């Protein structure tokens, strides 16, 4: 036993050593003593330095370090004793509500910010290291360089394969805190018993067992635990802000877009064999842009093509350390949007936009997620940014109306701003807003959102209307107004094609007849059937179709000049 302390009982043990409860003989206070046995593999000076830094400061939610003692048989830390035990032992408590867990997680995150501000990394965030004192004050324990040997692999990103050469990165703490949040809310670790490869697969597909969490919380956890550290929260401050606001603000990285443009130009120069021009431009690249993989990769290809082997080797070795980003992330995002898993879709889109930051369709998909998650303020801010960044993209100028209208405390003022618009999507959505009191079913969840039409990117790339579209009923061709979105619904509700019957919704569906593609959108109706198949959300019309609405049947031919 250490001189000056009286042993009371053991508190825990592991590969690092042991923790005991003791009484300090001079003061009489109870203390916990953690002993690290393997001095040979420890950086003693670094450990002492970090503990000395922390011991100088007081933080109400960090376990106090009283003393560090070095003996021939090991290194010993004398710490505050937290008799309330660890969160690990409390996880099964019935009164552990989601709000209580998140309040504790937020407290730990703020304590972690204090640690990070001292340029110290915890290395071992987990429920067992979240303690409670006798007043039930939550405390963060067991951190510092000492944990480079004592960390728990299950709480670290799976891409860290060489644990003995563990490189310090504050974002690893954020990942661990995200995994800890899942474990505390679900009462079990999401990856127990899984191999490294299985964990990577679950992280890539977003299969973390959190689909029952609120959407905003899912997005926060997906971001905190992202397999690519560049798509993760970059600082603990970002994590704290997201938890406090129940929201993650999305800011356009202008430099990333600039890097993407340079990458595209460099790729074009190489395709045109203009290597001399590339060699003249490359030295003038803003060095801060070369941190982005999208540009570094293209620069590496240039070095390789021009046989600058050493430069190519250095560039690709740096890139190799970055874990590969899914090339299918955009497609997976679209699939999840169609399935209604918007938080998971956001996770894939952020991943996609890291490699394709100049993709306006990717940003529009992100806006679609915000629209259906009712994050109108976030969507409005992003949409205004995108209009400035991509001034030629019509989808943003169209969808800004939806966000501004839904986010406004004075919707009539928003409508006045657009009173002279000729945009067909805005005109249709404005009409739906004006009729909402009579066409919305209050018993159907989100009925208004599903009546409104969010303008997809592809609809604005070929805006010419289809003048060969033909719709008939009982063999009689219906006269259609030119260059219009065709609404179908019950009589007396301002529809182009009016049908009768209680099985026809007041705004039932809408047809967007463009020259190169014609779409039918179901407006959360009582049921729209195309060729005997019920429409879910929207469907592409490609030839001659039979449409069934209530007791009515319509024939729609996307090109009356062709025989289908």
Cβ atoms of 185 and 213 within 8 Å: the answer is: yes
Cβ atoms of 461 and 406 within 8 Å: the answer is: no
**Phi, psi torsion values for 158, nearest 5 degrees:** -70, -10
Strands in 65-71's sheet, in edge-to-edge order, are 5-14, 17-24, 30-36, 74-80, 65-71
Dist. CA 201–CA 217, nearest whole Å: 21
**Phi, psi torsion values for 371, nearest 5 degrees:** -60, -50
Dist. CA 88–CA 460, nearest whole Å: 53
Dist. CA 306–CA 309, nearest whole Å: 8
Q: Tell me the two tokens of residue 238.
A: 């970002």
Dist. CA 283–CA 301, nearest whole Å: 16
Residue 496 makes CB contacts below 8 A (sequence gap 6+) with 480, 481, 484, 486, 487, 488
Determine how many CB atoms are found less than 10 A away from the CB of residue 223.
Answer: 21
Cβ atoms of 122 and 112 within 8 Å: the answer is: yes
544 DSSP β-pair partners? 557
Residue 93 makes CB contacts below 8 A (sequence gap 6+) with none
Strand 470-473 relative to strand 138-140, pairing = unpaired
Asked if residue 34 belongs to a known ligand binding site, the reply is yes
Dist. CA 63–CA 59, nearest whole Å: 8
The tally of CA atoms less than 13 A away on the side-chain side of residue 361 is 13
Determine how many CB atoms are found less than 10 A away from the CB of residue 388.
Answer: 10
Sign of the dihedral defined by the CA atoms of residues 170, 173, 175, 177, in that order: negative
Q: Which of 159, 212, 371, 357 is nearest to 221 (CA)?
A: 212
Dist. CA 163–CA 168, nearest whole Å: 11
**Phi, psi torsion values for 497, nearest 5 degrees:** -110, 115
Instruction: Report how far apart, in Å, the C-alpha atoms of 58 and of each of 52, 65, 111, 397 are.
Output: 12, 10, 11, 52
Q: Please state the residue numbers annotated as binding site.
A: 34
Annotated binding site for ATP: 34
């Amino acid at each position: 036993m250490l001189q000056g302390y009286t042993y009371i009982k053991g508190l825990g043990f592991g590969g690092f050593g042991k923790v005991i409860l003791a009484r300090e003989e001079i003061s009489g206070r109870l203390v916990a003593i953690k002993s690290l046995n393997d001095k040979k593999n420890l950086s003693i000076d670094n450990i002492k330095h970090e503990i000395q830094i922390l011991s100088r400061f007081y933080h109400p939610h960090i376990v106090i370090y009283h003393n560090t003692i070095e003996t021939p048989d090991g290194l010993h830390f004398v710490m505050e004793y937290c008799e309330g035990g660890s969160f690990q032992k409390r996880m099964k408590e019935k009164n552990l509500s989601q709000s209580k867990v998140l309040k504790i997680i937020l407290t730990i995150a703020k304590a972690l910010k204090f640690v990070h501000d001292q340029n110290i990394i915890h290395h071992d965030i987990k429920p067992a290291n979240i303690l409670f004192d006798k007043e039930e004050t939550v405390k963060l324990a067991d951190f510092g360089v000492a944990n480079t040997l004592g960390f728990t692999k299950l709480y670290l990103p799976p891409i860290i394969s060489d644990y003995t050469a563990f490189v310090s990165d504050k974002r690893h703490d954020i990942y661990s805190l995200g995994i800890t949040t899942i474990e505390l809310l679900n009462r079990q670790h999401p990856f127990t018993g899984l191999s490294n490869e299985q964990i990577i697969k679950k992280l890539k597909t977003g299969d973390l067992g959190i689909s029952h969490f609120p959407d905003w919380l899912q997005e926060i956890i997906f971001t905190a635990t992202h397999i690519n550290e560049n798509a993760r929260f970059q600082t603990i401050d970002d994590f704290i802000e997201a938890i406090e606001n129940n929201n993650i603000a999305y800011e356009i990285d202008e430099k990333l877009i600039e890097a993407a443009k340079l990458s595209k130009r460099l790729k074009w120069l190489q395709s045109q064999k203009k290597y001399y021009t590339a060699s003249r431009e490359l030295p003038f690249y803003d060095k801060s842009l070369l941190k982005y993989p999208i540009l570094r990769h293209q620069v590496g290809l240039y070095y390789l093509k021009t046989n600058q082997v050493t430069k190519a080797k250095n560039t690709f070795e740096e890139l190799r350390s970055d874990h590969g980003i899914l090339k299918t992330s955009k497609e997976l995002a679209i699939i999840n949007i169609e399935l209604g898993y918007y938080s998971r879709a956001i996770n894939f889109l952020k991943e996609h936009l890291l490699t394709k930051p100049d993709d306006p369709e990717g940003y529009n998909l992100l806006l679609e997620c915000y629209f259906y998650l009712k994050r109108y303020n976030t969507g409005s801010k992003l949409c205004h940014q995108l209009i400035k960044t991509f001034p030629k993209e019509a989808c943003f100028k169209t969808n800004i109306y939806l966000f501004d209208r839904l986010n406004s405390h004075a919707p009539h003022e928003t409508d006045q701003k657009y009173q002279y618009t000729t945009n067909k999507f805005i005109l249709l959505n404005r009409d739906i807003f004006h009729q909402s009191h009579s066409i919305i079913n209050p018993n159907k969840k989100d009925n208004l959102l599903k009546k409104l039409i969010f303008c997809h990117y592809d609809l604005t790339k070929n805006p010419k209307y289809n003048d060969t579209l033909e719709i008939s009923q009982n063999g009689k061709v219906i006269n259609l107004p030119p260059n219009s979105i065709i609404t179908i619904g019950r009589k007396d509700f301002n529809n182009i094609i009016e049908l009768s019957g209680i099985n026809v919704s007041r705004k039932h569906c809408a047809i967007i007849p463009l020259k190169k593609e014609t779409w039918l959108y179901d407006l959360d109706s009582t049921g729209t059937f195309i060729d005997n198949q019920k429409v879910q959300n929207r469907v592409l019309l490609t030839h001659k179709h039979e449409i069934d609405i209530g007791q009515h049947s319509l024939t729609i031919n996307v090109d009356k000049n062709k025989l289908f």
